[in-house]
Amino acid sequence: MTTRRKFLTSGVIAAGASTLAAPALAQAPIKWRLQTYAGAALGAEVIKPAIDMFNEIAAGQMEIELYYADQLVPTGELFQAMQRGTIDAVQSDDDSMASPTEVTVFGGYFPFASRYSLDVPVLFNKYGLGEIWDQEYAKVGVKHISAGAWDPCHFSTKDPINSLADLKGKRVFTFPTAGRFLSQFGVVPVTLPWEDIEVAVQTGELDGIAWSGITEVYTVGWSNVTEYFLTNNISGAWIGHFFANMDRWNELPPHLQTLVKVCFDQSHMHRQQWYWGGEADLRVNGPKLKLTTIPDAEWATVEAAAHTFWDEIGAESETKAKVVAIFKEYNAVMEKAGRPYRYS
């Protein structure tokens, strides 16, 4: 017969066992919505691999939903949407999304600020630009997560460009600051939604594009509507970033903040390698675009004009002056160091 003592003992054990065996309540994953400046074809290389990697490693704790150019909001409204919390994170340059900071003018292609893609992470991680961007974006409620390099800025056009005179009157899709600089050479900057560019070239609304290197021109289909690619560039690497709404960033536990940073840093490396390989291969083996070049002596006048432009921008504010001083310091060191080794 079961004694009272045995009953109480076995009952307690059974109750304890059932309590321990009860499954924990599953927590819903943290969800972010991230919109990139890039369309789907380009986004497949410049952002999707990093998001897929993050979601896999996060293993249900967090999920980032990826949206391409203009899917949730127009690119020009990305900053405001992120600041409000309508979207949680953004991949873009400062210039395209019209962020209200002192450093916006330096995003995208600031003329001749970089010559190689490796210049960008060095400027941000070793020369102090990262700290400046962190401070400027914190003032407006946005977390600057990281900066990296994209491709150089070349012209892809319907007509050949063999001299500066050939640029006069050309209606060109480009970045706001690049357009401001190029207008002194007769270029007519045009702003359109990214997805409309190919049709605009076909209809004659645009004469060309100064938005990317040759890898991107082929990838997004612009090589189907242009005939020529100018080998001179006004910048060796686009400066782009990952940003997040500050409140949403602060809600993340430290290990997920670290995972976001690691995956986005890996994205910068993936992108550098993808662009660099394409830039060389498509110039040599690309079947569609004919290469043209403005002679070095004539192009030197464009480089000289860029340094005058730097001084004009630097005179606008103390912060801008600080950034321009860093660009000058870095470029002086690189020039004295001589021809760099090839990296990416």
Interatomic CA distance for residues 37 and 35, integer angstroms: 7
Q: What per-residue confidence (pLDDT) applies to 35?
A: 98
Residue whose C-alpha is closest to residue 98's, from 172, 175, 173, 193: 175
Q: What residue spans define the domains of the chain?
A: 30-149+238-285, 154-235+288-337
pLDDT average, residue stretch 147-175: 97
User: For 30-149+238-285, CATH number?
Assistant: 3.40.190.170
Strand positions, DSSP E, the chain: 30-36, 62-67, 89-92, 142-149, 154-157, 171-174, 188-190, 208-212, 228-230, 239-245, 290-292
Which residues lie below 8 Å from residue 263, measured CB to CB, with a gap of 6+?
Answer: 50, 51, 53, 54, 57
Interval 45-58: pLDDT, tens = 999 999 999 999 99
- Band of the pLDDT at 335, cuts 50, 70, 90? confident
pLDDT average, residue stretch 188-202: 92
Q: What per-residue confidence (pLDDT) applies to 337?
A: 87
Amino acid identity, position 324: V
Interval 173-192: pLDDT, tens = 999 999 999 999 999 999 88
Q: Is the domain covering 154-235+288-337 a CATH 3.10.20.600 domain? A: no
Q: Is there a contact between 130 and 148 (Cβ–Cβ < 8 Å)?
A: no
Mean pLDDT over the full length of the chain: 91
Does 170 score more than 60 pLDDT?
yes
Q: What percent of the chain has pLDDT over 90?
A: 84
Collapsed DSSP state (helix, strand, coil) of residue 205? coil
Q: What per-residue confidence (pLDDT) applies to 195?
A: 84
Q: Is there a contact between 77 and 225 (Cβ–Cβ < 8 Å)?
A: no
Does 297 score more than 50 pLDDT?
yes
Query: pTM of the prediction?
Result: 0.87
Bridge partners (DSSP) of residue 241 are 92, 147
User: In which element (H, E) is residue 258 found?
Assistant: helix 254-285
Q: What per-residue confidence (pLDDT) applies to 341?
A: 59
Does 1 score more than 50 pLDDT?
no
Q: Token pair of 213, please?
A: 């290197």
First-to-final CA distance of the chain: 82
How many Cα atoms occupy the beta-carbon half-sphere of 161 within 13 Å?
A: 32
Rounded to the nearest 10 degrees, the angle between the axes of helix 296-314 and helix 318-337 is 150
Q: How many CB atoms lie within 10 A of CB 102?
A: 20
User: Are both 30-149+238-285 and 154-235+288-337 of the same fold?
Assistant: yes
Q: What per-residue confidence (pLDDT) applies to 15?
A: 44
